[in-house]
Amino acid sequence: MKSYDVIVIGAGHNGMIAAATLSRKGLGVLLLEASPTYGGMAAGGEFAPGYAGPSLVHSLNGITPAILKEMQLDKFGLAPLPTMTTCLSHDDAPLLVADNYQIAAGILSREDEVGLAELTRRLKFQASILQQFLADTPPQEGAFPFSMKARLAKTAFNLKRSGKIEMQEFMRMALMCICDVVDEHISDERLKGLLAFDGTLGISLGPRSPTSLFGLYMRLATRSAGADHTNGYSINAAGRLIDAIYESTKAAGVEFGFGRKVRAINVNNGLAGSVETTDGETYSAGSIVSAIHPATTFLSFVGAPKLDTGFSREISSVRSRGNVSKLNLVLDRFPHIASIGGSGEGRYVLAPSANEVERNFNPSKYGELPDAPCFEFVIGKGDRDTVYLSAIIQNTPLNLKQGWESGSKRLQDLVVNCLERLAPGIKSSIVATRFFSPLDIESNFNVPGGHWHHGELQVDRLFSLRPVFGAANYRSPIDNLYICGAGTHPGGGLSGMSGLNVARALIRDKGRGGK
């Protein structure tokens, strides 16, 4: 039986960041990965059969400077990425929206320009309050450090200093729905549609659901916490970043075990001591860091009998039913979007109005597909002089009543027909296609429910409550077992903070040397 200081399970970006950070502290780290390659959901591989490229991710959002430094990613060429979004609709003119919802002067009505300025200023301010907590380790029972109390006090003070009106507006708006907030400020349907889409993408809420504004806060906060040039839309940016993280992890001395699927984490007397893989190997370690879905970690690997009843009940109540599908199209030329008169690299969103996004959300509640899907797509240059169109389709529920066998075909047809309406001729330019339903994401990437965030990123599952109270500070009720990944604070995306935080927590617990 091989023995290590630390075993990390899952070579997604968080797992690699945790492994590299620990290894650099002088610990012997083994990183076990079920699939034959690194990167998890952000992995490169096949964009479509026969065409190389990332399968799922087409944007970067907010790699923090701390991660860049820790992972020595300065060699990773950070170039500005396209951040412009083009809002499309079938009946309306397209609308160009820059990062942070800036729109060139003279396009919106005078009232909307004023309203939008106030709305974005307010959202940015409110998101900045939450942003201060993104990099933190959430407090837990018996672990409420002075630094956290001081930060809370400082936040309260800053809020107070911002003036009565801003303070009132923050406390009023924080848990509101997107529709009500945007309606109070602007009237342009396309812009409202974009805000509604952005705030609800990847979670099971509609823009009329109370608390949906939090989705926008999270998006704005993660982005503004990121280092320069770490936000934007590009087919290859995430893939290049993952490659850089992998190189850095290898250079840090981490031993990789690809194709080793974990079967169990052995727990004796409340102590995690070793990991068993499906090929029958057992690896022992002083500490185990699980960078995969919390439900897999606790319910499959540890097993409910080894857990407190209340805790395992909480873990099984983590809502993790994916709601997003992915469609990759390889085209032989750039599509000709009629309303623009062409197309270029960048992001396009089809969410004509906030009400349309809400209508889109309705059938997903009952396991049905929308009639007119809302989706975003990123266009970029692909392999061998092709053009890649990478689409993320909202509100496509995991538990589809008609089943994904027939549903996949139907949804693809819906999306492709929709694209054909926007860009006549696009159908005939398709040379290859790849589609992932939430069910496909579940089976291809070992993510229960195929949920991009490893569990709903909603207010009742944030910070100290993510994944559940009792395991939110990257530690778990099982000694020596640590968790990180999208299922923990600060959630999904590519920030990498949970990987760094779990490494720090482990080193703090085990003393300077970490052993």
Smallest distance from the beta carbon of 466 to other proteins, in angstroms? 11
C-alpha to C-alpha distance for 10 and 37, rounded to whole angstroms:
10
Residues forming beta bridges with residue 387, ordered by sequence position: 331, 381
Smallest distance from the beta carbon of 141 to other proteins, in angstroms? 4
Contact 281/256 with Cβ under 8 angstroms?
no
Smallest distance from the beta carbon of 449 to other proteins, in angstroms? 14
The packing angle between helices 354-364 and 178-185, to 10°, is 170
Q: Which is nearer to other proteins, 286 or 470 (CB)?
A: 470
Instruction: Please return the burial class of 287, using the count of CB atoms within 10 Å of its CB with bins 0-12, 13-18 and 19+.
Output: buried
Q: Is 12 in the site for other proteins (CB under 8 A)?
A: no
* Region near other proteins per CB under 8 A, out of 90-98, 162-170, 410-418, 479-487: 162-170
C-alpha to C-alpha distance for 269 and 412, rounded to whole angstroms:
50
Query: Can you say whether the dihedral through the CA atoms of 267, 271, 275, 280 is positive or negative?
Result: negative
* Region near other proteins per CB under 8 A, out of 125-133, 187-195, 254-262, 312-320: 312-320
* Region near other proteins per CB under 8 A, out of 83-91, 385-393, 433-441, 465-473: 465-473
Q: Which is nearer to other proteins, 168 or 406 (CB)?
A: 168
Smallest distance from the beta carbon of 464 to other proteins, in angstroms? 7
Smallest distance from the beta carbon of 438 to other proteins, in angstroms? 18
Smallest distance from the beta carbon of 177 to other proteins, in angstroms? 8
> Residues binding other proteins: what is the number (CB under 8 A)?
38
Instruction: For residue 411, give the 3-state DSSP assignment.
Output: helix
Q: Which is nearer to other proteins, 117 or 175 (CB)?
A: 175
* Region near other proteins per CB under 8 A, out of 36-44, 175-183, 414-422, 432-440: 175-183
Alpha helices in 380-466 (DSSP H): 404-422, 438-445
Can you tell me which of 93, 175, 251, 372 binds other proteins, judged by CB under 8 A?
A: 175
Can you tell me which of 36, 77, 80, 142 binds other proteins, judged by CB under 8 A?
A: 142
Q: Is 425 in the site for other proteins (CB under 8 A)?
A: no
Can you tell me which of 50, 210, 403, 424 binds other proteins, judged by CB under 8 A?
A: 210
Instruction: For residue 368, give the 3-state DSSP assignment.
Output: coil
Positions in 221-260 near other proteins (CB under 8 A): none
Per the rule left: phi > 0, alpha: psi between -120 and 50, beta: everything else, 341 is left
Q: Which is nearer to other proteins, 365 or 515 (CB)?
A: 365
Per the rule left: phi > 0, alpha: psi between -120 and 50, beta: everything else, 392 is beta
C-alpha to C-alpha distance for 401 and 411, rounded to whole angstroms:
13
Smallest distance from the beta carbon of 117 to other proteins, in angstroms? 16
Smallest distance from the beta carbon of 145 to other proteins, in angstroms? 14
C-alpha to C-alpha distance for 84 and 82, rounded to whole angstroms:
6
Q: Which is nearer to other proteins, 211 or 433 (CB)?
A: 211
Dump the DSSP string for 235-298: TTHHHHHHHHHHHHHHHTTPEEEET--EEEEEEETTEEEEEEETTS-EEEEEEEEE-S-HHIII
In three state form, how does the secondary structure of 292-339 look?
CCHHHHHHHHHHHHHCCHHHHHHHHCCCCCCCCEEEEEEECCCCCECC
Can you tell me which of 116, 194, 327, 459 binds other proteins, judged by CB under 8 A?
A: 459
Q: Tokens representing 467? A: 């994944």
Q: Which is nearer to other proteins, 209 or 408 (CB)?
A: 209
Q: Is 319 in the site for other proteins (CB under 8 A)?
A: yes
Other beta carbons less than 10 A from residue 405's beta carbon: 10
Q: Which is nearer to other proteins, 304 or 340 (CB)?
A: 304
Q: Is 464 in the site for other proteins (CB under 8 A)?
A: yes
Q: Tokens representing 465? A: 């409550």
* Region near other proteins per CB under 8 A, out of 3-11, 19-27, 187-195, 453-461: 453-461
Q: Is 172 in the site for other proteins (CB under 8 A)?
A: yes
Q: Which is nearer to other proteins, 22 or 459 (CB)?
A: 459
Smallest distance from the beta carbon of 484 to other proteins, in angstroms? 20
Can you tell me which of 51, 76, 125, 469 binds other proteins, judged by CB under 8 A?
A: 469
Q: Is 299 in the site for other proteins (CB under 8 A)?
A: no
14 CB contacts (<8 Å, ≥6 apart)?
291, 484, 485, 486, 496, 498, 499, 502
Positions in 330-389 near other proteins (CB under 8 A): 358-359, 362, 365-366
Buried b vs exposed e over 331-344: b needs ≥16 C-beta within 10 Å?
beebbebeebeebe
Can you tell me which of 126, 412, 458, 501 binds other proteins, judged by CB under 8 A?
A: 458
The packing angle between helices 110-131 and 146-161, to 10°, is 160
Would you tell me which residues interact with other proteins (CB under 8 A)? 140-142, 160, 164-165, 167-169, 171-176, 180, 184, 205, 208-211, 313, 317, 319, 358-359, 362, 365-366, 458-461, 464-465, 469-470
